[in-house]
Chains A and B, each alone.
Chain A
């Protein structure tokens, strides 16, 4: 059963991974970081990614229908140089965290990363 660090290290094994973090999106606090930080500062990156995650999760426009499913699974941002993949971790306890993976655009495989990150998020809290 992986802990936070093992989960982040596993994410870093994905092709093109530059950095990964586990962020509490209510507070913007990075609970764990590994690798490079977008912009060079993990703390600032976590706070800004948390803003984006909060916007997606809190506004009905982006959320799934139905009471018993997570409102949002992923937030994906692409730019000319890289991809950012935010994966919400669905927990049975009170928590509001997401995995943030930063992928180099040339080497990264967004589809693969999305599937793998979802599996990692589930294993993190389910064992």
Chain B
């Protein structure tokens, strides 16, 4: 009797890196662009210098959305440079932007786009080597740090509401409560960032189980909900935290569900169990979804 050896199978029980290829590229201090399903990471000598994703607003959007930088100035720099990162460096060199402001936007954009780029994907990533490593003045991030932050955001999303369907539910602008003024830093417009950015509205719908919309393409949206932010239609941004607000999710058929009333506070001492499959009370009710702030 011939005994055939078992076929090798991937051990899915062991924790794996977000992207084994990225880990290897970091170890070999590679320079180039890693293109994955939901975004791309630009590496220089194994460090992430720039990240882009269609699901997160880029550096240009962050800089020009509220007039920090004139859109024409960005376009001029972008035309003269190769890629947004070099355009930003041009702007820095020309003194059009303060270093601190640019670094802040750069890191915000990098971590947000990096989150999506490292989302689980159904297609293998591709890496294009670039022979000319060049480090610029803007800060770069170790691969390990980006992976760590991505995992932290995933965990926080899960804690906010364990059902992933709420992370991608379409959001509808809430009716602001009469006389309510959203607290939050000024000048931000409908800003909606970070875990719960895209999730908060759906989370706030309270027990979204019966009205979970069809899952749109894309990973769990834990970065900026850029489109909503830009168009000012994020319900989470448009309501004052800590106050009674009403939010809705849309059904796939376009009808709006009954609007549950969500109060922004939970009784003192009540802490939700993160692992509860469908808590009766909104788990993160005492905080608004991080990143969303009022207009």
- Residues of A near any B CB (own CB < 8 A): 1-4, 6-7, 24-29, 31, 54-55, 57-60, 63, 67-71, 88-97, 123-127
CB-CB under 8 A from A59, the residues of chain B are 183, 241-242
A81 to chain B, nearest CB (A): 28
How long is the Cα–Cα vector from A28 to B160 in the complex, in angstroms? 14
How long is the Cα–Cα vector from A91 to B107 in the complex, in angstroms? 15
A31 touches B291 (CB 8 A): no
A90 to chain B, nearest CB (A): 6
Segment among B6-14, B19-27, B58-66, B78-86 that sits at the interface with chain A: B58-66
With A29-B111, A94-B66 as known contacts, state yes or no: A1 contacts B98, CB within 8 Å: yes
A57 touches B111 (CB 8 A): no
Q: Which residue of B lies closest to A93 (CB)?
A: B68
How long is the Cα–Cα vector from A25 to B292 in the complex, in angstroms? 11
CB-CB under 8 A from A71, the residues of chain B are 183-186
Q: Mark B211-246, 1 if CB is under 8 A from A, else 0.
A: 000000000000010000100000000001111000
Segment among B39-47, B124-132, B191-199, B250-258 that sits at the interface with chain A: B191-199
Residues 131 to 183 of chain B near chain A (Cβ within 8 Å)? 139, 149, 152-153, 156, 181, 183
Given A3-B100, A95-B105, A96-B193, 20 additional A-B pairs, CB 8 A: A1-B99, A3-B139, A26-B290, A27-B194, A29-B149, A29-B152, A57-B184, A60-B183, A60-B240, A63-B183, A67-B181, A68-B186, A91-B104, A93-B65, A93-B68, A93-B105, A96-B188, A96-B191, A124-B104, A127-B97
CB-CB under 8 A from A97, the residues of chain B are 104
A7 touches B100 (CB 8 A): yes
How long is the Cα–Cα vector from A57 to B288 in the complex, in angstroms? 11
A54 touches B287 (CB 8 A): yes
B108 partner, pick from A24, A92, A124, A125, beta carbons under 8 A: A24
B240 touches A92 (CB 8 A): no
How long is the Cα–Cα vector from A55 to B188 in the complex, in angstroms? 18
CB-CB under 8 A from A58, the residues of chain B are 183-184, 241-242, 287-288, 293
A28 to chain B, nearest CB (A): 8
A93 touches B181 (CB 8 A): no
* Selected A-B contacts with CB under 8 Å, 18 pairs: A1-B100, A2-B99, A4-B104, A6-B99, A28-B290, A58-B287, A59-B183, A67-B181, A90-B187, A92-B101, A93-B62, A93-B63, A93-B66, A93-B105, A95-B62, A95-B105, A96-B293, A127-B101
